Structure 1
C-alpha cells in the first residue's frame, strides 16, 4: 500500500500549532489532540514537527481492579517483589461523529502484548519516499506507571483502580513540518478528508497566538526542601548498603491553574523550546500533557535503534565565559560523570536485548545546553534483530533508565517506596510507531506539566528531580530539581520554583563538544560496532538445550548483564544467560546440576546485581561449589569468574567478611586498578583503568583465596583467585564503557583452561570454612 501526499511551502513561524488551531476552530480543544513539536534551533534532533489526525482508532490502557498486597518488605533494603499478577485492561475504540465506541476489551499480562493489539490494527503502508512518519501507525502516550507490565514487578503505591495509564491513536493522516526546508507535507491514506481539503483549497493558515508570561498567580504545593534533602540522604544510605547504584527521585509541585493548560504549553514553546516537546489532550477524560522534553527514549529507522540518555546537569551561566567554565566544572565532576556513564552502560544493556549481538555501541557524547540548564548527553545505538515487533522494542527500554536509576528493576521498586505515590505521565513517553515500516520515535516526559480538569478549573502537577548517586549533595539535589522545574512552573503558575528573587538566565540553545580535561575520563573512547565474522551467539533462558554454550552467565537482576554477554560474543564465544534470581523458587542444586549436564558450558560467569550475594541462592551455591572444586564437566573443573556480586559471593563462600567499603561506595567511576601480574593479569598492563560499581568490599579472613588486585592505594581488594582451581573474582566491570582494556581481561578469563579433577585428592585438598 502506498500513501498519498502533497507538499506546500510554509509562511508562518509554527505551522503545526497553527494547523491544530485551524482544525480546532476555537480557543480551547473540544476533541482529542496531539502534536509532536520540535523547537529551538534546527539540529540532528529537531528536524521535524508533526500533527496527526486522531479520528480513527483509539486504544486505552487502564489500571486494573486489584488489591495491593502490602507487607513489611522494603526495596530500599534490597527486597524486590518480582512478577506482576495483575492484568492490564485494554479497550479498543472506534471514532464516530459523536465520540468513541468501545469495540473490544482485553486483559493482558505484558506491555508487549498490549502493543501487539495496536500492531494488529496497523495499516501496512510502504515508505517509498523516505518520510519520517507514515499513516496507519499509532501515536500517543505511555504513562510511567505502565512500567509494571514492561519490567515485571509488583509495587505498593499504584494508581487508583480504573485510572487511565496511556492512550494510543491510529493516525490515518499526518502533517509534517520539515523545519530545515521549511516545508509542510500532508501524508495520508487515500481520500482522507485532510488531504482532500488541502488538494481543493490549498494551504491557508494564520500565525498562532503566543501568550505573554503570567503574573504570579499562586505558589503550588510541594514538599519542603528539608524533606527533599532527607530523602536524598535515605537514598544514599541504601546505595552505601549496595542495594542500587543510582536512583532518580522526583519532587512534585501541584495546584489549581489560572488558565487552560494549552496556554501553559504555548508559554513553554516561547520560553523553553525543546526538540521533543509535545501537547496531548484526551477530551472525554479531562487529561492533558504539556511537555518541553529535551530527551529521546528511542528512535528506530531502517533497522537501527538509537537512544539518547541525558544525565549530568549544571545551570547555564550569565555569560559565554561563565557558561564554558560551568561546562568544564560539570565534566570534571566525578559525581556528574558517574551519573552519566552508568546510564550509558544501562542503555547499552537495554538495547542489547533487542539488537544483533555485538552491534550495540556508544556513538556520541556531547553537551546540550538548553535555555536554563545544560546536560551531558550520549547516543547509544545498535542494529535491530530482524523482524522484531515494536512491542518487544519498547518493552526493552521503557521506562527510560535515565529517569529510574540503576539497576533498573531495583531502582523502580525503591522509587515507588520513597516517592509513596504513582508518577502518572511524568517520565513516561509520548511518540509514534509504525511497526510495518520499522519507524518509531518516543521522548521521555521530563520538563512536563500533567493536568486534569475539575469542576471549575484545571489542576496541574509538575515533577522534577535528579539521579542520586553516592557523591550527591542533598542541598545541591534540591537546587537541581528547582532548576529543572523552573521553566515549567513559570509557564503554569508564573512561579519559578523559588528563584523569584534571582532569575535564572535564559540562554540560546547550543550543542557543544565535551571539553578536554585531565584524568581517567580522557581514556574513554566511543566504540564502533563490532564487525568480526566469527561473532558468537546469545541464548536467553534454559529451556532450549540444542544450542552450544561456551559461557553460562548468571543474571542477578543487574542492568549490565547484556553488556557482559555482548563482550563475550564479540570475542567469538557463545553465551547463555540464565536467571540467578528467578521469579519462582527452585532448588539451587537441582538447577545448577541441570545446567551443567545439559549445557556442558566451558566456563561460568556469576554476574553482578543489586544488594548482597545472599539474595541469590543460586549465586551462593555456585560460589560454594566453585571453591570446593565441584563445578565439573567431563571430569574437569571449568573456569568460574565472579563479577562484582559474584566476586563477593566467592569471598563469602570461603568465610571472608563482606562490609560497607571503609573508603565509601564507588559507582560509575573509571578507577586505577593494580594487580600482581598473575592469573587473569599475566598479559595485561599494570595499572589498569577499569570501571567500578561497588558499595561493599571483601575482608580476607584466611588463605583459601589469593588477593591479586587492589585499588590505587592498595587498601581494598579488587581481585581474587583460587590457589588450585580456575576460579577468579573481580570487583570491577570490564564490560563497561569506562574500562578501556576490559575486553582483554574478559578474553584472558575465556582462555583459561579447565583443571583435571582427581576426586580422591580433591576431597583432601578442599576445606570448607
Structure 2
C-alpha cells in the first residue's frame, strides 16, 4: 500500500497538544511529545490515529510465585504461563474482540503482532521518523517476565491489563525546529481528507488542590538501601534500582497533570496515553530513551548518575563537576554502560557494539550522566526481537538484570505496572522503532471522574550509596511529577529545588583514573584468530561483552549456560559441551553469588586442576592429551580457587563494583604486555584468600600474580605449569583501558602437552604466555 504525505506550516507551536486538548477524553489517545530545547533527541512530536487494530496484554492465571530471597542469592528461574493477548478491531467507534492468543514470550507476541502490519511503499520524498502501518503503545514493566525468565512473588492480579499496542495507519508529525507539520498516512485514510483547524492555545491548568499522597517513610526507604548494600557485600548483585511509591486519589484529570508536566518539566521523550474503556492513563516527562532503530543502526541511551540543579550558574557547574568526579556516580553509570553493551550485543552483528558518547543532560530540577551505546542490528534479528532483548531497560533494574528484577520484587513488594516500562512505536517490516523508559511518570487508574494516581521514583543503589542521599535523590526526581499530580513537591519547595533551563552539556574535565575512562573512536576492523572459545555464562549481565571482545580479536565464541533454570548432571553437561563444540579455549564467566551456585563452572575448574580438561579429537599433530587453556573471570576465577581448596571471603577492604582500579602484577602469564599499575574494571564483593604455608597439592599449583593497589587482595592467579589463569576484574569493560591485551595473550595460549619437565619448549615459550 502507498503512503501519502501532506505538509502544512503549523500556525502555532505545540499543534499536537492543541489537537488533543480540544478532544473529549472518551477515546483512546497516544502522544509522543518532545519538549524543552530542540536537540538531537527532541526533534519531533508525533500523534497517531488509533482507529484500526488494538492488541491488549493481560496477566494470565496460574502464575507460579517465587519464595526465594534474591537478596540472599536465591533466584528462581523459569518462564511464567503464556500471556493472554487479545486482538480487537475498531468498528463504528467501538473496539470489538476478534481473537485471543497465548504467546509464550514477549518476542513471540511481537512477532505475532507484526503479521498485522501493513507493508507500504514510501515515495522517499521525505525522511520520516515513523512509518504508518506499524504499531505503537505501552509495554508495562511487568511484561519483562516474558523477556527475562524469572519467577517473582508479587505479580499483578490475573486479568490485569499489562500493555497495549495499536496499529497506527496515520501520524501527525510536528517538526519542532522548522515548525512544519506533516500528515503521513496510508492511502485512503480518513485523516487525509481533513484540514488543519484553527485551534486556540492550550490553557495549562493551575496547581491542583493540594493532597499529600501515601508513601513509605524516609527511614523505611533508607533501611531498604541498607538491605541492598548488605546483599552487594555478600556478592549476590552489583547494583539495584529501587523505586519508592507515592499514591493517592487525585483531584481533576490525568490529562491536566500531563499538561502541567509539559511546562514544569519538559523532556525529550514525554508521552501521554489514555485507554479510555479500561480507565488507564499514563502521563510521562521521561528524559530517557530505551531503544532507537533506523536503517539497521540500533542505539540506547542509559541514564545513571544524578545531581540536583544549582541555584545559579556557578552552583550548577559545581554540582556537575561533583557528579563527573564522584566514584560512586561514575560506578553506577559505567556499570549501566556495560550492561547496555551486553544487551545490544545479543542482537547486533559481532564486533559492532560500542560506547559512542557521554554527556550531562540537565532537566528542570535535576541533571544526569547520559551515555550512548549503539551497534548494527544483526541481519537475522527483527526489530521486535531487539526490543524484547533490551526490555525492560537495564538502567531501571540493575546488574545482573535477572537477579535485580527478583530483588526489586522482594523490596518493592508490588508490581510496577507502567513505571519503568516503555512507550514508543515499532514497525518491523520498515525496520523502525523508538521507545522511551517510563521514568518521571504518573499512572492513573479507574476514571473517568474518580482517578487514583501512582508516582514512583528512585535510583541505582551501589555499595557506596548513602541511604540519606538515596532518599533525597528519589524525592528530587519525583518532585515535578507529584506537584503536577497532587500539588505536592515531595517535601521540597521551589527554592530548595530550583527550576532551571533545560540543556545538554559536555562532561567536565576529570583527572586521575576516571579521566582515562571515556568513549574512544570505534574501529570496526577485526583481527584474525583460529581460536574457538567456549564461554560459560553464569547468569551475568556482561557475558555478551566478553564475547564481543573475543569476536573483535577474531575468535569464534560459543556461549553455554552455566546456571540454567533446570540443572542437569554437571559432569554430563560438561562432557556434552566438549564433544559437541570441541573448544580450543574455555572461559568460566562472571556471575552473582558464590561459584558453588554454578555447578558446571565448578566441574570445569576441578577438571582443569586435575589435568582432566583435554582436547576432544584434537587436530592432527596435537598431543591427544593436550589440556585446554582455561581463564576464570571473576566468579570463574573464584571457582578455580575454590576447586583448589582456597577460602573465599568477603573483601576485607569492602566490595568494589563498577570502579576502574589500579591493578598491580608481576608481569607473568597474561600480564606480559600489560603496563604496571594497569587500570582495569572491578566487579567483586568476595576475594580468594591465599593459603598459608601448609598447602595441599592443588593449592601449591596455583600462585598469585596480580593484586589490588594495596597489594593485599588477590586479583589474579595462574597455574605453575598448566594453561590456567584467573582474573578478579573485567578486561572487556569500558572501564578497562588496559584489558584487551590480556585477552589477546589468552587467545595466543596454546594447549600445552603434559610432560614431566618444563611445561613448554623454547619455541612454544616464544609464542605464548610464560607460566
Same fold (TM over 0.5): yes
Contact 2:721 2:758 in 1 (8 A): no
Tell me how far apart the structure 2 counterparts of residues 721 and 343 of structure 1 sit (CA, whole Å): 30
Q: 1:255 to 1:504 in 2, by over 3 A?
A: same
> What residue in structure 2 maps to residue 306 of structure 1?
299
> What residue in structure 1 maps to residue 601 of structure 2?
619
Answer yes or no: is 1:77 the counterpart of 2:72: yes
Tell me how far apart the structure 1 counterparts of residues 33 and 435 of structure 2 sit (CA, whole Å): 12
Q: 1:760 to 1:41 in 2, by over 3 A?
A: closer
Answer yes or no: is 1:155 the counterpart of 2:149: no
Q: 1:489 to 1:69 in 2, by over 3 A?
A: closer
Contact 1:57 1:93 in 2 (8 A): yes
Residue 342 of structure 1: which of 301, 324, 335 is its match? 335
Q: 1:225 to 1:194 in 2, by over 3 A?
A: same
Question: Which shows bigger deviation, 294-303 or 579-588?
Answer: 579-588
> What residue in structure 1 maps to residue 29 of structure 2?
33
Tell me how far apart the structure 2 counterparts of residues 70 and 81 of structure 1 sit (CA, whole Å): 6
Contact 1:358 1:535 in 2 (8 A): no
Contact 2:235 2:684 in 1 (8 A): yes
Answer yes or no: is 1:646 the counterpart of 2:636: yes
Contact 1:345 1:737 in 2 (8 A): yes
State how 1:269-668 maps to structure 2 within 5 Å: 269-454=262-447, 457-500=450-493, 502-532=495-525, 534=527, 550-633=532-615, 634-668=624-658
Residue 120 of structure 1: which of 115, 120, 130 is its match? 115
Residue 676 of structure 1: which of 666, 683, 696 is its match? 666
Q: Using the TM superposition, give the Cα deviation of residue 583 of structure 1 relative to its aligned residue in structure 2, in angstroms.
A: 1.8
Tell me how far apart the structure 2 counterparts of residues 98 and 677 of structure 1 sit (CA, whole Å): 74
Q: Using the TM superposition, give the Cα deviation of residue 82 of structure 1 relative to its aligned residue in structure 2, in angstroms.
A: 1.1
Q: Using the TM superposition, give the Cα deviation of residue 435 of structure 1 relative to its aligned residue in structure 2, in angstroms.
A: 0.8
> What residue in structure 2 maps to residue 696 of structure 1?
686
State how 1:63-142 maps to structure 2 within 5 Å: 63-71=59-67, 73-127=68-122, 128=124, 129-142=126-139
Tell me how far apart the structure 1 counterparts of residues 713 and 47 of structure 2 sit (CA, whole Å): 57
Alignment TM-score, normalising by the size of structure 1: 0.95
Contact 1:558 1:609 in 2 (8 A): yes
Q: 1:294 to 1:751 in 2, by over 3 A?
A: same
Tell me how far apart the structure 2 counterparts of residues 4 and 535 of structure 1 sit (CA, whole Å): 49
How many residue pairs get aligned? The number is 742
Tell me how far apart the structure 1 counterparts of residues 578 and 434 of structure 2 sit (CA, whole Å): 42
Contact 2:80 2:145 in 1 (8 A): no
> What residue in structure 1 maps to residue 43 of structure 2?
47
Tell me how far apart the structure 1 counterparts of residues 702 and 755 of structure 2 sit (CA, whole Å): 20
Tell me how far apart the structure 1 counterparts of residues 758 and 514 of structure 2 sit (CA, whole Å): 49
Q: Using the TM superposition, give the Cα deviation of residue 455 of structure 1 relative to its aligned residue in structure 2, in angstroms.
A: 8.0
Tell me how far apart the structure 1 counterparts of residues 449 and 553 of structure 2 sit (CA, whole Å): 64
Q: Using the TM superposition, give the Cα deviation of residue 684 of structure 1 relative to its aligned residue in structure 2, in angstroms.
A: 1.7
Q: Using the TM superposition, give the Cα deviation of residue 205 of structure 1 relative to its aligned residue in structure 2, in angstroms.
A: 2.9
Contact 2:66 2:76 in 1 (8 A): no
Q: Using the TM superposition, give the Cα deviation of residue 390 of structure 1 relative to its aligned residue in structure 2, in angstroms.
A: 2.0
Tell me how far apart the structure 2 counterparts of residues 493 and 224 of structure 1 sit (CA, whole Å): 18
Tell me how far apart the structure 2 counterparts of residues 70 and 372 of structure 1 sit (CA, whole Å): 38
Contact 1:343 1:401 in 2 (8 A): yes
Answer yes or no: is 1:737 the counterpart of 2:730: no
Q: Using the TM superposition, give the Cα deviation of residue 454 of structure 1 relative to its aligned residue in structure 2, in angstroms.
A: 4.9
Tell me how far apart the structure 2 counterparts of residues 501 and 314 of structure 1 sit (CA, whole Å): 16
Contact 2:649 2:686 in 1 (8 A): yes
Tell me how far apart the structure 1 counterparts of residues 142 and 21 of structure 2 sit (CA, whole Å): 31
Gaps of 5+ in 1: 537-547, 763-769
Contact 1:12 1:206 in 2 (8 A): no
State how 1:162-201 maps to structure 2 within 5 Å: 162-198=159-195
Contact 1:8 1:203 in 2 (8 A): no
Specify the SS of the correspondent of 1:632: coil
Tell me how far apart the structure 1 counterparts of residues 455 and 21 of structure 2 sit (CA, whole Å): 25
Tell me how far apart the structure 1 counterparts of residues 60 and 548 of structure 2 sit (CA, whole Å): 38
Q: 1:34 to 1:648 in 2, by over 3 A?
A: same
Tell me how far apart the structure 2 counterparts of residues 387 and 590 of structure 1 sit (CA, whole Å): 32
> What residue in structure 1 maps to residue 619 of structure 2?
none
Tell me how far apart the structure 2 counterparts of residues 226 and 605 of structure 1 sit (CA, whole Å): 43
Tell me how far apart the structure 2 counterparts of residues 728 and 138 of structure 1 sit (CA, whole Å): 50
Specify the SS of the correspondent of 1:108: coil
> What residue in structure 2 maps to residue 15 of structure 1?
15
> What residue in structure 2 maps to residue 722 of structure 1?
719
Tell me how far apart the structure 2 counterparts of residues 349 and 535 of structure 1 sit (CA, whole Å): 23
Question: Which shows bigger deviation, 549-558 or 404-413?
Answer: 549-558
Q: Using the TM superposition, give the Cα deviation of residue 437 of structure 1 relative to its aligned residue in structure 2, in angstroms.
A: 1.0
Contact 1:553 1:577 in 2 (8 A): yes
> What residue in structure 1 maps to residue 762 of structure 2?
none
Q: Using the TM superposition, give the Cα deviation of residue 192 of structure 1 relative to its aligned residue in structure 2, in angstroms.
A: 1.1
Specify the SS of the correspondent of 1:299: strand
Q: 1:533 to 1:624 in 2, by over 3 A?
A: closer
Aligned Cα RMSD in Å? 1.6
Tell me how far apart the structure 2 counterparts of residues 524 and 504 of structure 1 sit (CA, whole Å): 31
Q: 1:760 to 1:89 in 2, by over 3 A?
A: farther
Specify the SS of the correspondent of 1:44: coil
Tell me how far apart the structure 2 counterparts of residues 386 and 534 of structure 1 sit (CA, whole Å): 22
Tell me how far apart the structure 1 counterparts of residues 665 and 754 of structure 2 sit (CA, whole Å): 28
Q: Using the TM superposition, give the Cα deviation of residue 584 of structure 1 relative to its aligned residue in structure 2, in angstroms.
A: 1.6
Tell me how far apart the structure 1 counterparts of residues 58 and 476 of structure 2 sit (CA, whole Å): 33
Contact 1:332 1:517 in 2 (8 A): yes
Q: 1:70 to 1:369 in 2, by over 3 A?
A: closer
Tell me how far apart the structure 2 counterparts of residues 761 and 333 of structure 1 sit (CA, whole Å): 48
Tell me how far apart the structure 1 counterparts of residues 277 and 522 of structure 2 sit (CA, whole Å): 47
Gaps of 5+ in 2: 616-623, 760-771
Q: Using the TM superposition, give the Cα deviation of residue 761 of structure 1 relative to its aligned residue in structure 2, in angstroms.
A: 12
Specify the SS of the correspondent of 1:354: coil
Q: Using the TM superposition, give the Cα deviation of residue 644 of structure 1 relative to its aligned residue in structure 2, in angstroms.
A: 0.3
Tell me how far apart the structure 2 counterparts of residues 508 and 455 of structure 1 sit (CA, whole Å): 35
Q: 1:449 to 1:186 in 2, by over 3 A?
A: same
Tell me how far apart the structure 2 counterparts of residues 267 and 42 of structure 1 sit (CA, whole Å): 20
Tell me how far apart the structure 1 counterparts of residues 41 and 193 of structure 2 sit (CA, whole Å): 31
> What residue in structure 2 maps to residue 540 of structure 1?
none
Answer yes or no: is 1:213 the counterpart of 2:207: yes
Tell me how far apart the structure 1 counterparts of residues 416 and 714 of structure 2 sit (CA, whole Å): 40
Q: 1:124 to 1:456 in 2, by over 3 A?
A: closer
State how 1:741-756 maps to structure 2 within 5 Å: 741-756=738-753
Specify the SS of the correspondent of 1:462: strand
Q: Using the TM superposition, give the Cα deviation of residue 500 of structure 1 relative to its aligned residue in structure 2, in angstroms.
A: 3.6
Specify the SS of the correspondent of 1:464: strand
Q: 1:2 to 1:503 in 2, by over 3 A?
A: same
Kindly report structure 1 stretches of 4+ aligned residues shifted beyond 4 Å: 533-536, 758-762
Q: 1:382 to 1:388 in 2, by over 3 A?
A: same
Q: Using the TM superposition, give the Cα deviation of residue 108 of structure 1 relative to its aligned residue in structure 2, in angstroms.
A: 1.3
Alignment TM-score, normalising by the size of structure 2: 0.94
